[in-house]
């Protein structure tokens, strides 16, 4: 019995277990049994991953319609992403224990499970199915906010996510035509992907992944929806969609040159929006853009060190970004807003949330001894080794920018700065526990001699290169010194500008971004078109109908059995002559045609 269970677990995609737990969470109404399922599901998924029986070969397949669907295949890189997703799903379930909302619990787990299942899928159709499931399930986490703004944002979110899925399917169709199969093993291998120049389907795939990864100009769904999700929903959303896209980029497009610039631009532009944004959850969404940019850039560079950097960064980022969203989720839950203008001084009654937020902020800023330093250093070094001066400067600039918006702005304006007079209770125990677990990972991974850095580097796809980097480059005096110089001088700039009152005060309002294009001019154009059609439409339809009726009547009057051409002896003669001409043509064709 035990052996059968072990064998079953070792051949089951951990994502399926989490999805099943999500379905159960909806039907189980008791709070304690539902808590057991929501936390136990991801933990069982972790057990399944640990027990996986083989690397780089199909562990579960489905044959249907003359095609083989690889439902479960474990690669080294999928372990990094899958493990981070499973940890995030477990921590998120703990964070949401107070919710008592079966629908949110259920959708959060189905969403997480779909992302995990896609990470361990071995063919494009299986990825497509779970790609779409992530979109459909996650939209409930925005909808459940219950506000009209959240409803509109969720519809915009759903539209663009489904579009991404459709593009992925189109890409899959081309790849099927080119390679005759959709199994990854036939057209990609670890570190070798598709070519945008040679593979027509690759372009569709690239845009599909670009939407989910929130490439520049395709990024607005992220800020739009994450800031309007429920206080637990934004935590869940922050972990999966963009990182699933990063995983897919890692598999399909390692070394794709255009990703270097796309990623570098992604790291830089959100910094400017984040500095003037008032909603701290939106600031975190911009920060998410910035962090994913580092990963995208590393994938574009494509060397083993850079690809290790992208995977390590994703692992650390899923945890520390979740931690930051959790701290803002706790503030949202207790205060009802995350707008900087309405916060400040919350440390008095929410000190533990403040401490956890600071740990997340130190991690994302890549302070030595925290996880961000261990992860981001790989990418920065990989860019340096390739002597890409401009890209390296952009990433360095973005690193200082991260300190501004996530390292300082988030904790400072929420918990310190001016006293808002609000004295909310500390976050509930389950939230503190979840934040505590995430904080533990941030420190364990980042602090030397605790074994966390070795654990993370040992998981990476190019393990040997990672271990050499760990021994020779990570903790060198000059590396730690230069990182501390960058961050401490940036912090000094904050203090100086704040003291001389040059730091722009937080102000209520929205910040225009590229979504202005479709929420204003395009929206107005559509409204105008609708108004014009409502007036001109009936008249134009009437004219078209009258015209087509006259044409039909004329044709009928000419060609029908009672029509002009059928009247009199002419029609009979014409029929005879037509038959004669046809017979001549057929005889000629028989004589002169090919034999």
- Stretch 488-527 residues interacting with another protein (CB under 8 A): 488-499, 502-504, 507-513, 519-520, 523, 527
Does residue 486 bind another protein (CB under 8 A)?
yes
Q: Residues 69, 250, 269, 333: which binds another protein (CB under 8 A)?
A: 333
The one segment of 10-18, 213-221, 418-426, 533-541 that binds another protein by CB under 8 A: 418-426
Q: Look-up: residue for tokens 């009979």?
A: 572
Q: Provide the phi-psi class of 259: left if phi over 0, else alpha when psi is between -120 and 50, else beta.
A: alpha
Closest distance between another protein and the C-beta of residue 509, in Å?
A: 5
Site for another protein in 155-214 (CB under 8 A): none
CB closer to another protein out of 351 and 538: 351
Contact yes or no for 225/319 (Cβ under 8 A): no
189: three-class secondary structure by DSSP: strand
> Given candidates 17, 19, 280, 355, which one binds another protein under the rule CB under 8 A?
355
Q: Which long-range contacts (CB under 8 A, 24 or more apart) does 146-153 make?
A: 147/228, 149/228, 150/228, 150/229, 153/224, 153/225, 153/228
d(CA 92, CA 105): 10
Residues forming a β-bridge with 123:
183
| Complex with another protein: residue 149 or 192, whichever CB lies closer | 149
Q: Closest distance between another protein and the C-beta of residue 381, in Å?
A: 8
CB of 278 to another protein, least distance (A): 9
DSSP state of 566: G
Applying CB under 8 A, the site for another protein has a residue count of 88
Tokens 């706790």 belong to 330
Binding track, positions 85-124, relative to another protein; x by CB under 8 A: -------------xxxx--x--------------------
Considering only residues 226 to 265 of the shown chain, the ones binding another protein according to CB under 8 A are: 230-231
Per-residue contact flags (x/-) with another protein for residues 279 to 318, judged by CB under 8 A: ----------------------------------------
The burial class, CB within 10 Å (0-12 / 13-18 / 19+), for 103 is middle
Q: 484 or 572, CB closer to another protein?
A: 484
Residues in the chain: 595
DSSP letter at 561 equals T
For another protein, the closer of residues 501 and 595 by Cβ is: 501
Can you read off the two tokens belonging to residue 396? 């360095």
The CA-to-CA distance between both ends of the chain, in Å, stands at 74
Cβ-count burial 164-174 (b if 16+ within 10 Å, e if not): bbebbbbbbeb
- Other Cβ atoms within 10 Å of 342 Cβ, number: 15
In the window 16-75, what residues touch another protein (CB under 8 A)?
Answer: none
Nearer to another protein, 9 or 109 (CB): 109
CB of 201 to another protein, least distance (A): 37
- Bridge partners, 60 (sequence order): 72
Cβ-based nearer residue to another protein, 17 or 271: 271
DSSP 250-308: HHH-TT-THHHHHHHHHHHHHHHHHHH--BHHHHHHHHHHHHHHHHHHHHHH-SHHHHH
Contacting another protein (CB under 8 A), which of 354, 378, 435, 459?
Answer: 354
- Which CB, 440 or 516, lies closer to another protein? 516
Alpha-carbon span 174 to 170, nearest angstrom: 7
Closest CA to 135 of 221, 238, 241: 241
State the nearest-atom distance from the C-beta of 487 to another protein, in Å: 6
- Strand, coil or helix: what is 73? strand
Spatial CB neighbours of 530, under 8 Å, sequence gap ≥ 6: none
Question: Which x/- pattern, by CB under 8 A, does the window 129-158 give for another protein?
Answer: ----------------xxxxx--x------
Q: Is 568 in the site for another protein (CB under 8 A)?
A: no
Q: Which is nearer to another protein, 524 or 550 (CB)?
A: 524
CB 252 within 8 A of CB 192: no
- Residue from 336, 537, 542, 573 in contact with another protein (CB under 8 A): 336
Which of residues 146 and 561 has its CB atom nearest to another protein in the complex? 146
- For the bound state, the minimum distance from the C-beta of residue 319 to another protein, rounded and expressed in Å, comes to 23
Distance of closest approach, residue 495 Cβ to another protein, in angstroms: 5
Nearest alpha carbon to residue 259 among 216, 312, 222: 216
The contact mask relative to another protein for 378-407 (x = CB under 8 A, - = no) is ---x--xx-x-x--xx--xx--xx-xx---
Contacting another protein within 463-482 (CB under 8 A) = 476-478, 481-482
Q: Which of 59, 118, 332, 375 binds another protein (CB under 8 A)?
A: 332
Select the residue interacting with another protein from 49, 121, 271, 301 (CB under 8 A): 271
């Amino acid at each position: 019995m035990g052996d059968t269970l072990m064998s079953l677990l070792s051949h089951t995609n951990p994502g399926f277990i989490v999805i099943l737990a999500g379905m159960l969470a909806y039907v189980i109404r008791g709070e304690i049994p539902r808590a057991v399922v929501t936390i136990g599901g991801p933990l069982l998924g972790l057990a399944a991953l640990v027990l996986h029986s083989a690397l780089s070969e199909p562990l579960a397949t489905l044959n249907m319609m003359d095609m083989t669907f690889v439902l479960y295949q474990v690669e080294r890189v999928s372990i990094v992403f899958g493990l981070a997703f499973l940890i995030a799903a477990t921590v998120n379930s703990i964070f949401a224990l107070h919710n008592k909302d079966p629908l949110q619990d259920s959708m959060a787990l189905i969403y997480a499970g779909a992302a995990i299942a896609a990470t361990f899928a071995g063919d494009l159709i299986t990825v497509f199915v779970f790609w779409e499931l992530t979109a459909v399930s996650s939209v409930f986490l925005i909808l459940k906010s219950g506000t009209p703004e959240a409803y509109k944002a969720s519809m915009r979110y759903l539209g663009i996510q489904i579009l991404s899925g459709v593009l992925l399917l189109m890409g899959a169709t081309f790849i099927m035509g080119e390679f005759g199969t959709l199994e990854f093993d036939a057209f990609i291998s670890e570190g070798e992907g598709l070519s945008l120049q040679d593979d027509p389907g690759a372009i569709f795939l690239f845009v599909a992944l670009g939407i989910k990864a929130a490439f520049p100009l395709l990024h607005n769904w992220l800020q739009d929806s994450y800031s309007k999700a429920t206080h637990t929903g934004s935590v869940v959303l922050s972990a999966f969609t963009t990182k699933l896209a990063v995983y897919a980029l890692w598999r399909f497009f390692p070394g794709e040159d255009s990703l270097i610039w796309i990623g570098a631009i992604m790291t830089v532009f959100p910094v400017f929006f984040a500095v003037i944004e008032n909603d701290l959850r939106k600031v975190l969404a911009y920060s998410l853009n910035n962090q994913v940019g580092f990963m995208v850039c590393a994938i574009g560079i494509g060397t083993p060190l850079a690809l290790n950097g992208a995977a390590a960064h994703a692992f650390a980022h899923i945890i520390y970004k979740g931690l930051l969203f959790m701290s803002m989720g706790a503030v949202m839950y207790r205060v009802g807003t995350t707008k900087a203008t309405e916060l400040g001084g919350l440390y008095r009654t929410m000190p533990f949330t403040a401490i956890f937020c600071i740990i997340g902020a130190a991690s994302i800023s890549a302070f030595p001894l925290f996880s961000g330093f261990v992860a981001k250093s790989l990418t920065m070094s990989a860019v340096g080794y390739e002597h890409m001066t401009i890209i390296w400067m952009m990433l360095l600039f973005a690193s200082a920018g991260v300190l501004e918006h996530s390292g300082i702005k988030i904790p400072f304006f929420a918990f310190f700065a001016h006293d808002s007079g609000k004295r909310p209770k500390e976050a509930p125990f389950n939230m503190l526990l979840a934040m505590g677990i995430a904080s533990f990972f941030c420190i364990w991974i980042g602090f030397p001699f605790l074994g966390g850095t070795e654990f993370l580097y040992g998981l990476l796809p190019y393990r040997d290169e990672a271990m050499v980097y760990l021994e020779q480059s990570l903790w060198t005096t000059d590396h730690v010194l230069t990182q501390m110089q960058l961050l401490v001088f940036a912090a000094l700039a904050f203090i100086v500008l704040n003291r001389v009152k040059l730091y722009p005060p937080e102000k209520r309002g929205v910040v225009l971004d590229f979504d202005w294009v479709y929420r204003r001019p395009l929206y107005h154009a559509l409204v105008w078109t609708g108004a014009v059609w409502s007036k001109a439409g009936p008249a134009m339809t009437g004219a078209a109908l009258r015209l087509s009726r006259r044409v039909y009547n004329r044709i009928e009057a000419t060609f029908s059995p009672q029509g002009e051409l059928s009247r009199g002896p002419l029609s009979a003669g014409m029929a005879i002559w037509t038959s004669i001409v046809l017979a001549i043509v057929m005889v000629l064709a028989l004589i002169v045609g090919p034999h």
